[in-house]
Amino acid sequence: MNNIDEIVFLHQVAAPCHLAMLAESIGLATRVISDIEHLEPTSNCNSFYFISQQGAAVDCNGIPLVASKLVKHVPVALYDVVRDSLDAESALLLGVRGLLFAEQRMDLQLTGLRKVVADELWYDRTLISRVFRQLVSNIETPQQLSTEGSESFQLLTRREKTIIQLVSSGARNKEIAENLCISEHTVKAHISSIFRKTQARNRVELLRWAEPFQNQLKLHAVG
């Protein structure tokens, strides 16, 4: 799963961490931490961090404060989230990879865990589309594009530009594969190439990078 060595769960409540148990049952390396002081993210280990909203100190948007700090350095998702207690749009813009809600079935939570560890976003598709439109609306003029960004855009193939447009609409790898009649493996290869050319580390950063190029991307999609 995207070369992730282990999944670290910050679980600050007395109840067992059922999501970690489920992850272990399918062969994923996990580590459960109950004390925030034991969190020591390093660049030497490719870890994915799941932060429980329950028992955590949160900001005005319901996002755990520790997540806001970690997301700058390592991939982060939230679990045991109480629906309507958290601003999902703020979490997405912050860079949180996904939200697993406390009331969801465990099989759905496991699907979400698999997706975010595989470098996909796990949010409501409508939310992703709305946020992307808002980001695009903040663009003033094409002249504001950086020379570096324009050069990166020129490096992209037509297929890669089409895939960026699909990612912007909230499509996941499977949906992109079905839309383009290619395999998910091929989609992943294209996305890796896109990340390399745009210097984006994940889909959130790719969405931000693509903001100024939406008109051009639409033209390529039509063409």
Domain architecture of the chain: domains with CATH: 6-123 (3.40.50.2300), 131-222 (1.10.10.10)
Alpha-carbon distance 223 to 121, whole Å?
28
The alpha carbon dihedral of 204, 63, 40, 33 has a sign of negative
Identify each DSSP E strand in the chain by its residue range: 6-10, 30-33, 47-52, 76-81, 99-101
Mean pLDDT (10-residue bins), the chain, 223 residues: 81 92 91 82 74 93 92 92 93 94 92 92 90 69 56 86 88 91 93 91 87 70 48
pLDDT value at residue 146: 57
How many other C-beta atoms are found inside a 10 Å radius of the C-beta of residue 147?
A: 7
CA 97 to chain CA mean position, Å: 3
pLDDT value at residue 41: 61
* Residue 90 · residue 63 · CB < 8 Å: yes
pLDDT value at residue 223: 44
Alpha-carbon distance 187 to 107, whole Å?
25
pLDDT value at residue 212: 77
